[in-house]
Amino acid sequence: MKARELTIVGAWEFTPVLHGDDRGVFLEAFKADVLAETIGHRFDLAQVNTSVSAAGVLRGIHFADVPPGQAKYVTCTVGSILDVIVDIRVGSPTFGRWDAVLLDDVDRKAVYLSEGIGHGFCSLEDGSTVTYLCSTGYNPGGEHGVNPLDPEIGIDWPRVARDGTPLEYELSAKDLAAPSLSEAREAGLLPEYGAVADFVDGLR
């Protein structure tokens, strides 16, 4: 498995080796030792989530209070998504920037994002199935969102589906009502870069 650090500090792309023949494909989708060596500490798995999305569904940008935060290891087992990582940590040198990785059922890549980083994706076909390995369980009182269409962030969401047809975005009412990045910062919802760094260092 090959790891590549993304432009957002604390986020990586993982590309597995695919072993294929006439019967199909086998791969190691998650390797705890490779992940620990890459991120500098062990990943404690607390919960596994799965979402299934139609083409054009946007989910995010979601993040959790730190501590305890929620690190995620994200894969797309069926279909394809554009997975987006947003630096929402106040004081970070890349605050407000985003990076993206295509996750699909061909290359079968995964993305890891550490605590304090925003996450979202756009489904590129019906039935796209995303699996999230999470370091902490669901904590409704400590989870927040930033509007994924916020022009200040300026995410270049895909305009066409995997089959080339135009995409029509569909968001949940909660995501549509989410504040902009500036509004979330003014409301004190965003994690502080220094506090997040201290927390992650404490995991090592």
Which domains, ranges and CATH numbers included, belong to the chain? 2-203 (2.60.120.10)
Mean pLDDT of 146-151: 98
Does 41 participate in catalysis according to the annotation?
no
pLDDT at 92: 97
Report residue 7 as tokens: 């432009």
Q: What is the pLDDT of residues 161-177, one digit of tens each?
A: 999 999 999 999 999 99
Work out whether strand 98-104 and strand 24-26 pair parallel, antiparallel, or are unpaired: unpaired
CA 79 vs CA 71, 76, 83, 84, 151: distances in Å: 23, 7, 13, 16, 28
pLDDT at 144: 97
Does 144 participate in catalysis according to the annotation?
no
pLDDT at 78: 98
pLDDT at 115: 97
Catalytic residue among 62, 73, 112, 144: 62
What's the whole-model pTM score? 0.95
Q: Is the peptide bond before 93 cis (omega within 30 degrees of 0)?
A: no
